[in-house]
Amino acid sequence: MPDDTREQVLLAAAELLAESGLESMKARAIADRAGLSVGSIYKLFGEIDDLVREVNLQTYRMFAEHHRTALELVSTSVTSPFDRLMVLARAYVDFVINNELRWMALLAFNARQTRPGSKDERSIRAELYAIVETVMSEIPGFTSEMASKKMTRALWAAVHGIVIFTLPNSTSDDPVGETLEQIEMIVGAVVRDASQ
């Protein structure tokens, strides 16, 4: 089948995922949206999980691009590592809000996997960490590459946990503000500790 048919299926699956989440990833629904037969879906991707993996890779790439763009937009006006890390935190929250079902589907899919991620998945995660590591390396206490890598992963896990648990469960009138306030406490502690 031509490459554009594959892209047609990926687009249909991504649209369904964004509209209805992981439960919408059924061969019939995807085929109907793409205007193809169910057999074509399996012929192109094998298992539905393989199709979902490819859509999730697209989501990761969108996520990484969103973060890169956020930093580029403030490259000359925001110079302190703390503020630059908060730019990335706000970008994380913004992406999750604007792509909620797609992001939650990615996390739910990853949680149920029993095998390690593919080379492409590991590569895009490394790319995401590298964006944060670039800012972490600007903090005086994290000038060594190993220290920067370790703290990047710890900070990523903390921010991820805050976003995943606080944003949807907040009882505040301003869930985004509460989420960012919690992240700010963690980022502030990391920067202060490293700078001492």
The sign of the dihedral angle between the CA atoms of 127, 114, 40, 29 is negative
List, for residues 89-114, the tens digit of each pLDDT value: 999 999 999 999 999 999 999 888 88
42 with 60, same domain?
no
List, for residues 112-148, the tens digit of each pLDDT value: 888 777 899 899 999 999 999 999 888 887 777 787 8
Range of the structural domain that residue 12 is part of: 1-46
| CATH code of 62's domain | 1.10.357.10
32 with 57, same domain?
no
Q: Token digits for 181? A: 């306030």
10 with 72, same domain?
no
99 with 152, same domain?
yes
pTM: 0.89
Can you say whether residue 21 is alpha, beta or left, with left for phi > 0 and alpha for psi between -120 and 50 degrees? left
Mean pLDDT of 3-28: 92
64 with 123, same domain?
yes
76 with 14, same domain?
no
